[in-house]
Amino acid sequence: MSTMNDIAKLAGVSQGTVSNVLNNRGNVSAKKIKLVQEAARQVGYIMNAPAHQLRSSSMLSKTIGIILPNITDAKYAALYTSLQYFWQNREYQVSLWLTNDTPYYEKAAISAATAARVSGILTVTCLPDSADSYKTIRQYGGTVVYMEREMENTFPYIGYDYYQAGREMAERALEKGFRSAALVLGLSFFSCESQFEKGFGDCLSSRHISDFKWQTHNTYLSDAFQTTFRLYENSTYPDCIIVSGKSLSDKISQAFSSVSSVSPPLLLTITSDSREARCNDSCYCMDYSVLAYEAGKLLLASLEHSKNVPEKTLLDASGFIRRKQIPYIAKKKISLNVLLVQGQPATAIMQMTPHFSEQTGLDINYVTLPLGELTSVLSQMNGNHFFDVIRTNITTTPQFPAGALEPISDGLFRELTKTMYPEVVKGFSYCHGQAVAVPFDISTYFYAYRKDIFTDPVIMRTYLEKYGEELELPDTFERFNRVAAYFCKKENPDSPVPYGTTGPANDMALVFSHFQFIYRNLGGRLADENGAFVFDRELALQAIRLQMELMPHSLSLQSSRRDFNVTNFIEEKTALEIVSTSYASRLLNLRHRSINGLLGFSHLPANTGTFGGGALAIPHGCKEPHAAERYIEWASGFDQAYIFTLLGGATPHKSIYKEHDILELYPWFGLMDQAIETSSPLSELDIFDRYHLERFMGFTLSNIYCGVIPLDSCLNVLEQGIASYLLDK
């Protein structure tokens, strides 16, 4: 077996240098790192992971421990799968221990996790003395987050509100006219089961229902068959069986089928599968993928020593979410003309439309245009003779004259927007103080980068030697330019890619957007808190110079397609890109390339965040306004949001971005919550004619960058031009 001494001899360096390189520590030059790596490769050296951890200066390993009762139960399988995915995307290893709800096995798992010095534990515990049992993890600096089951002094804790679930399940049983029920639950020792039973009973008591008969049967999952037989022995079945888990209900259904040809009483079931709940009104959804996401965020905040980690978090369940049947509304043949912007949202809704048409009798004729062309059409739409529904956006909606768009019914607007991001609703929906549009799709920007490049020891060391700072995702645009220059082969022949990033030079809207990113990151604004026009000439000039510095190190945009930068990234031409979620779906093509799995994604620098997207509106002159409202109710509704997003759209409904299927397919959507909450819809631009301002800024900035307008006079041109697009208030 090869040793560090073998590597040192072959590389011609000291054994201490070899140790520093292999353990990723110490002040070692890029040249020596290359020598050691090559020597290690030649001798076939393999790092011993446990020994590496013991030698590490850190007390904590880059590992997260997950302790669950089992993964045969669907909810725990979903919990584990989603947790593994969450931590894998944050460069952590995951270790799983299963306890079968046996204290001995759980304590053995705690001992193993302690020996491995895991950074944190996420556990569904069966131990009554959990707080004491997990003390060894906390003593060496690890963190424990308790899930689903709350024991004494176990915090931070996160789980669903099982008490509320019990109340809602009782309500559903009463709605269906049932007068008796058997509750088949897990052990009452566990808080989730006891709270569910309490909520069920309290609901009946609060409604003074005295003639509803119900019994509780607590059981292990493995004993569910025997429990079912005991129900069968009574010969008088309850009206319904209410079960606290899908795996339990499956066992009960199997047991009934083996002893009787009579269908079992209706099962009202808690399921972790939101897809099943959408198809079955007897399923109450507690999505454990969402629990995994929120528990992961909680542990991550603890590891980052956040001061805002709550001791107890109760999540709201999705509940009964079966998709509503779309009513047939067309007594005659009705066709609606719908104008959308080209892109994934339009493609997604068009794929879904045949089913809508089949159910409603409405034929939908779509016209799709590129964004710039669509915006131009909308800006000139003084009178409408063609379209029944149009896709507006944050730039165009406020610009319509009063009466040009039909108001959305108050009740429908509230119903459709109650589950959407409030920031999006506020930014997209109003014109002259009236709700005239319903958000349809949203977008924001994020960093897409090559993880292998940004974590390569030689690349990192060479960057440090060149710039005197660590290679990290840039938090300012000065650093962005340095990173782009470093990965440009004209500057650095050893760069693994030809260019650092893609430039926006041929697209007016992108030119303006990129200027805004830089200008806002520097602290610049175009309107103050009172809505008065401001223009910081010094910051504007600094932003222009930063953009001009970037251009020699970026790959020029040679296409009118807005996803051209994504193409460059996929083809391994660039190391770092600023990508819009509207065009990010093509990143899925990385699966067919050698860099599959090496995609990293992160938020943009502070103060740069903006969000965009579009809303659906009914223009004045629509021939069938009632049918148009039904189309918007369907296209922008929560019931379609999951499928719409899975097909490549991006819904404004907030909870969809915690769905495991969505995050697995489009991992950058995991950034959406924070991006929307910390971004701005650029409401400061409300004081301007946005459409014409955008065109003016894009055109003028492009001419500045290519030297047509000199720097010494550009500020006057910009300031006067921007001021000319102020709206009369």
The stretch 676-688 carries a mean pLDDT of 69
pLDDT (average), residues 531-557: 89
Pairing mode, if any, of strands 180-185 and 240-243?
parallel
Q: Same structural domain for residues 20 and 132?
A: no
User: In this model, does residue 397 exceed pLDDT 50?
Assistant: yes
Q: Is the pLDDT of residue 245 over 90?
A: no
Query: What Å distances lie between residue 535 and 434, 715, 722, 725, CA to CA?
Result: 30, 10, 9, 13
Number of domains observed in the structure of the chain: 3
Average confidence (pLDDT) over 290-308: 88
Q: In angstroms, rounded to a whole number, what is the distance separating the alpha carbons of residues 336 and 208? A: 50
Q: Which of 232, 270, 231 lies closest to 250, judged by CA?
A: 270
Predicted pLDDT of residue 90: 84
CA 2 to each of CA 9, 22, 39, 96, 573: distance values in angstroms, whole numbers, following the listed order: 11, 14, 11, 31, 37
Q: Are 62 and 49 in contact (CB under 8 A)?
A: no
**Among 66-75, 250-259, 520-529, 544-553, which stretch is predicted with the lowest mean pLDDT?**
250-259
Q: Is the pLDDT of residue 54 over 50?
A: no
pLDDT beyond 90 at 476: yes
CB 403 within 8 A of CB 622: no
How many other C-beta atoms are found inside a 10 Å radius of the C-beta of residue 670?
A: 22
Q: In whole numbers, what is the pLDDT of the chain averaged over residues? A: 86
Instruction: Please tell me the predicted confidence (pLDDT) of residue 373.
Output: 76
Specify the pairing of strand 430-431 against strand 434-435: antiparallel
As given in the structure block, the two tokens for residue 137 are 């993890």
Q: Which two tokens stand for residue 71?
A: 């993964």
pLDDT tens digit string along 215-237? Answer: 998 888 777 777 777 776 656 77
Provide Rg for the chain, Cα atoms: 30
Q: Is residue 638 domain-resident? A: no
In terms of Cβ atoms closer than 10 Å to its own Cβ (0-12, 13-18, 19+), residue 532 is exposed
Rounded average pLDDT over 553-561: 72
Q: Which of 261, 285, 309 marks a domain boundary?
A: 285
Query: Percent of the chain, pLDDT > 70?
Result: 90
d(CA 232, CA 234): 5
Q: What letter would DSSP give residue 583?
A: G
Identify the domain boundary among 132, 159, 186.
159
Q: Kindly report whether the peptide bond that precedes residue 156 is cis, defined as omega within 30 degrees of 0.
A: yes
Residue 462, pLDDT above cutoff 60: yes
Query: Do 267 and 167 share a domain, yes or no?
Result: yes
Q: Is residue 216 part of a domain?
A: yes
Which strands, in side-by-side order, build the sheet including 143-147? 93-98, 63-68, 120-123, 143-147, 157-160, 312-315
Q: Is the pLDDT of residue 59 over 80?
A: no
**CATH number of the CATH domain containing 273:** 3.40.50.2300
Are residue 154 and residue 103 in the same domain, yes or no? yes
In this structure, what token pair is assigned to residue 48? Answer: 């011993």
Note whether residue 562 is domain-resident: no
CA–CA separation, 174 vs 665, rounded Å?
39
The CA distance from 566 to 564, in Å, is: 5
H or E segment and range at residue 578:
strand 576-580
List phi, psi (to 5°) of 259. Answer: -120, -5
Kindly state the average pLDDT of the residues 680-685: 61
Per the DSSP assignment, residues forming a β-bridge with 431 are 434
Mean pLDDT, rounded, for 78-86: 92
* CATH number of the domain residue 26 falls in: 1.10.260.40
**One domain, residues 253 and 196:** yes
CA distance 513 to 507: 10
Do the domain assignments include residue 447?
Answer: no
Same domain membership, residue 154 and residue 173: no
Whether residue 70 is predicted with pLDDT greater than 60 in this model: the reply is: yes
Quote the pLDDT of residue 235. 60
* pLDDT score recorded for residue 262: 64
The DSSP code for 399 is: G
**What distance in Å separates the CA atoms of residue 691 and residue 176, rounded to the nearest whole number?**
53
The tens digit of pLDDT for each residue in 321-374 reads 865 556 555 567 889 999 999 888 999 999 999 989 988 889 999 999 887 777
178/150 same-domain check: no
Interatomic CA distance for residues 455 and 472, integer angstroms: 9
Q: Is the pLDDT reported for residue 309 higher than 70?
A: yes
DSSP, residue by residue, 475-530: SSHHHHHHHHHHT-TTT-TT-SSSBSEE--TT-HHHHHHHHHHHHHHTT--SB-TT
Phi-psi region of 94 (alpha: psi -120 to 50; beta: other; left: phi over 0): beta
| Measured distance CA(381)–CA(619) in Å, rounded | 9
pLDDT of residue 227: 76
Write down the pLDDT at residue 72.
87
Give residue 55's pLDDT. 47
Helix (H, G, I), strand (E, B) or coil at 563: coil
Residue 273 lies in a domain: yes
Same domain, residue pair 204 and 96: no
Q: Which domain holds residue 118?
A: 66-159
Query: Residue 457 in contact with residue 21, Cβ under 8 Å?
Result: yes
27: pLDDT strictly greater than 90: no
Classified as helix, coil or strand, 446 is strand
**Which of 130-144, 256-270, 378-392 is the least confident region?**
256-270
Q: Last residue of a domain, which of 124, 159, 194?
A: 159
What element of type H or E holds 259? helix 246-259
Same-domain status, 171 and 278: yes
Average pLDDT of the residues in 111-115: 92
SS3 268: strand
654 phi and psi angles, rounded to 5 deg: -60, -45
Q: Quick check: 164 pLDDT over 90?
A: yes
pLDDT of residue 29 exceeding 70, the answer is: yes
Q: What is the pLDDT of residue 484?
A: 95
Inform me whether the pLDDT recorded for 101 exceeds 70.
Answer: yes
Q: What is the dihedral of CA 161, 164, 169, 174, to 10 degrees?
A: 180
For residues 49-72, give the mean pLDDT: 74
| 725 within 8 A of 693, measured Cβ to Cβ | yes
pLDDT (0 to 100) of residue 99: 94
Dihedral sign for Cα atoms in the order 407, 408, 411, 417: negative
| Tens digit of each residue's pLDDT (9 = 90 or more) over 625-673 | 999 999 999 999 998 998 999 988 999 999 899 887 888 888 899 889 8
Q: Transcribe 639-671 into DSSP letters.
A: HHHHHHHHTT---SBGGGGG-HHHHHH-GGGGG
Asked if 120 and 138 sit in the same domain, the reply is: yes
Nearest to 663 by CA among 89, 274, 95, 159: 89
Q: Are residues 170 and 262 in the same domain?
A: yes
Q: What's the Cα-to-Cα distance from 552 to each of 94, 109, 195, 513, rounded to whole Å? A: 42, 55, 63, 19
Q: What is residue 495's predicted lDDT score, i.e. its pLDDT?
A: 93
In the chain, count of helices (H) and strands (E)? 30, 23
The C-alpha atoms of residue 240 and residue 267 are separated, in whole angstroms, by 6
Cβ contacts of residue 223 below 8 Å, gap of 6+?
none
Does a structural domain hold residue 612?
no
What is the pLDDT, as a whole number, of residue 682?
54
pLDDT digits (tens, 9 = 90+) for 618-627: 998 888 999 9
Please give the helix or strand (H or E) that residue 369 lies within, else none.
strand 362-369
266 in Cβ contact with 300 (< 8 Å): no
Q: Are residues 179 and 261 both part of a single domain?
A: yes
Output the pLDDT for position 591: 64
Judged against a pLDDT cut of 80, whether residue 57 lies above it is answered with no
Residue 727 lies in a domain: no
Task: List, in sequence order, every residue forming a beta bridge with 68; answer none if it has no partner.
Answer: 98
Where does the pLDDT of residue 385 fall: very low under 50, low under 70, confident under 90, or very high at 90 and above?
low
Together in a domain, 264 and 206: yes
Q: Is residue 29 part of a domain?
A: yes
pLDDT greater than 80 at residue 439: yes
DSSP state of 73: S
pLDDT, tens digit (0-9, with 9 covering 90-100), for 149-158? 999 888 899 9
pLDDT digits (tens, 9 = 90+) for 408-424: 999 999 999 999 999 89
Are the C-beta atoms of 346 and 368 separated by less than 8 Å? yes
SS3 365: strand
